[in-house]
Amino acid sequence: MGTRMEKDLNEVLLKGARMLGVTLTEEKVKAFEFFLQELMRWNQKINLTSIKDPFEIVVKHFLDSLAISPYLSPGSSLLDVGSGAGFPCIVLKISDPSLKVTSIDSTTKKISFQRHLTRHLGLKDIDAIHAHLPDPQIIMKWKKSFDYALSRAFGSLGTLLRIAHPLIKDRGIIIAMKGKMGGREALDNNTVARFNMRLQRKVSFTLPFIDASRTLLFFARKEASSMTP
């Protein structure tokens, strides 16, 4: 990519991040530059994402992933279920290096790409794992281990809750990152109640520059509300 294009995309990233409540340093912007370049390079040989346009990658992948960043506590542990090419897990790790990130995906090539990024960016406390969830060994190893379990554009909400609810701490949160119609799933109280969860919060926002609607759904254990601090 030419210098002019890089500069323009950096402005899109910086401005869009600010609109979402996230401030990025020059060092973090450079990390996103590398992420973008490598994603486009790998994507020529491996189908990591169907989005090919650099502007759309910045907005629909980077900014969309960054939208959750203001809702995560610094230093917390995070599980990304079905993390693909690193969205949102690596985006969130670049934004807040204090996060302790575990990324799981069933596609070997996507996990290889994530590991390539973490090595070259020098990211610490991030583990990219190839696995099919639910995996009994993973459930056993990380039962009630995470402050947050989240997924972006995952399948059904019921599947995410079934996979993630054993892995979050008693006061942990499951976050479903959905599109415009995502909020409708949260109205299915039977699905949520089946896993002893409750909808704690729903946040709707518009993705910068393209006027696309997004929904964040936050779920907590029912008993967590009655537990004493």
Per-residue tokens: 31: 């990390």
Phi, psi (5° rounding) for residue 222? -60, -45
pLDDT, residue 6, reads 75
pLDDT, residue 193, reads 84
Residue-wise pLDDT for 114-136, tens only, equals: 999 999 999 999 999 999 988 89
Extract the residue ranges of the chain whose pLDDT is less than 70: 1-5, 181-188, 224-229
pLDDT, residue 153, reads 74
Longest dimension (CA), the chain: 56
- Ordered by where they begin, the domains of the chain are 3-226 (3.40.50.150)
pLDDT, residue 229, reads 42
Q: From the CB of residue 96, how many other CB atoms can be counted at a distance below 10 Å?
A: 18
pLDDT, residue 228, reads 42
Single out the residue of 54, 216, 123 nearest to residue 114, CA to CA: 123
143: helix, strand or coil:
coil
Report the alpha-carbon distance of residue 152 to residue 3 in Å, rounded: 31
Q: From the CB of residue 22, how many other CB atoms can be counted at a distance below 10 Å?
A: 20
Report the alpha-carbon distance of residue 19 to residue 21 in Å, rounded: 6
